[in-house]
Amino acid sequence: MAPAPFAAEAERIRRHVNDTLLAAFSELSEGILIVDREARIVWMNEQYPRHLGIADPASVIGLPVEDVIPNSLMRSVVASGKPIMLDVMEFGSESFVVMRLPVRDSAGTIIGGVGVMIFDDPRQLAPLLSRFQNLRLELADTRRKLDEARRTRYTFASFVGTSPACVAVKDKARRAARAVSPVLILGETGTGKELLAQAIHAASPRADGPFVAVNIAAIPETLLEAEFFGVAPGAYTGADRKGRSGKFELAQGGTLFLDEIGDMSPALQAKLLRALQEKEIEPVGSNRLIPIDVRIIAATSRNLQKDVDEGRFRPDLFYRLNVMTLDVPPLRERIDDLPLIAECLTDSIARQLGEPPRSLSADAIACLAGYTWPGNVRELSNMLERALLLSDADRLEARDFEHLLPAAARATPAPAKASPTRTLDQIQQDAERRAIVDAIASAGGNKAQAARILGISRASLYEKISALGLGSAANT
Q: What φ, ψ does residue 353 adopt, rounded to 5°?
A: -85, -5
CB 97 within 8 A of CB 124: yes
Low-confidence ranges of the chain (pLDDT < 70): 1-4, 14, 16-29, 120-134, 136-137, 140-151, 234-242, 407-426, 470-476
CB proximity list for 95: less than 8 A, separation 6 or greater: 88, 89, 121, 122
pLDDT at 19: 60
CB 200 within 8 A of CB 183: yes
pLDDT at 22: 60
Q: From residue 465, give the alpha-carbon distance in Å to each of 62, 334, 423.
A: 99, 21, 20
Instruction: Please tell me the distance from the alpha carbon of residue 183 to that of residue 199, in angstroms, as a whole number.
Output: 12
Tell me: the pLDDT tens digits for 31-62? 888 999 999 999 888 777 887 888 888 888 99
Sheet of strand 94-104, all strands in order from the earlier edge strand to the far edge: 41-44, 31-36, 110-119, 94-104, 84-91
DSSP of 207-275: TTS-EEEEEGGGS-HHHHHHHHH-B-TT-STT--TT-B--HHHHTTTSEEEEETGGG--HHHHHHHHHH
The CATH architecture assigned to 4-122 reads 2-Layer Sandwich (3.30)
Per DSSP, the three-state class of 110 is strand
Alpha carbons within 13 A on the beta-carbon side of 187: 30
Instruction: Please tell me the distance from the alpha carbon of residue 5 to that of residue 16, in angstroms, as a whole number.
Output: 17
In this structure, which topology does domain 331-422 adopt according to CATH? Helicase, Ruva Protein; domain 3 (1.10.8)
pLDDT at 413: 43
Sign (positive/negative) of CA torsion 350, 354, 355, 357?
positive
pLDDT at 374: 92
Domain extents in the chain: 4-122, 156-327, 331-422, 427-475
Q: Cα dihedral angle (315, 319, 321, 324), rounded to 10 degrees?
A: 140
Instruction: Please tell me the distance from the alpha carbon of residue 139 to that of residue 382, in angstroms, as a whole number.
Output: 36
CB proximity list for 197: less than 8 A, separation 6 or greater: 183, 185, 211, 213, 255, 257, 297, 299
CB proximity list for 104: less than 8 A, separation 6 or greater: 81, 110, 111
pLDDT at 129: 56
Instruction: Please tell me the distance from the alpha carbon of residue 294 to that of residue 248, in angstroms, as a whole number.
Output: 7
pLDDT at 213: 93
pLDDT at 95: 77
CB 74 within 8 A of CB 112: no
* Strand-pair partners of 270: none
pTM: 0.59
CB 184 within 8 A of CB 202: no
* Strand-pair partners of 395: 359
Instruction: Please tell me the distance from the alpha carbon of residue 182 to that of residue 21, in angstroms, as a whole number.
Output: 62
pLDDT at 93: 73
Quote the radius of gyration of the chain (alpha carbons, Å): 36
Q: What φ, ψ does residue 418 adopt, rounded to 5°?
A: -120, 40
pLDDT at 238: 56
CB proximity list for 80: less than 8 A, separation 6 or greater: 102
Measured from the Cβ of residue 85, the count of other Cβ atoms closer than 10 Å reads 10
The CATH architecture assigned to 156-327 reads 3-Layer(aba) Sandwich (3.40)
Q: From residue 35, give the alpha-carbon distance in Å to each of 3, 164, 377.
A: 16, 84, 76
pLDDT at 248: 93
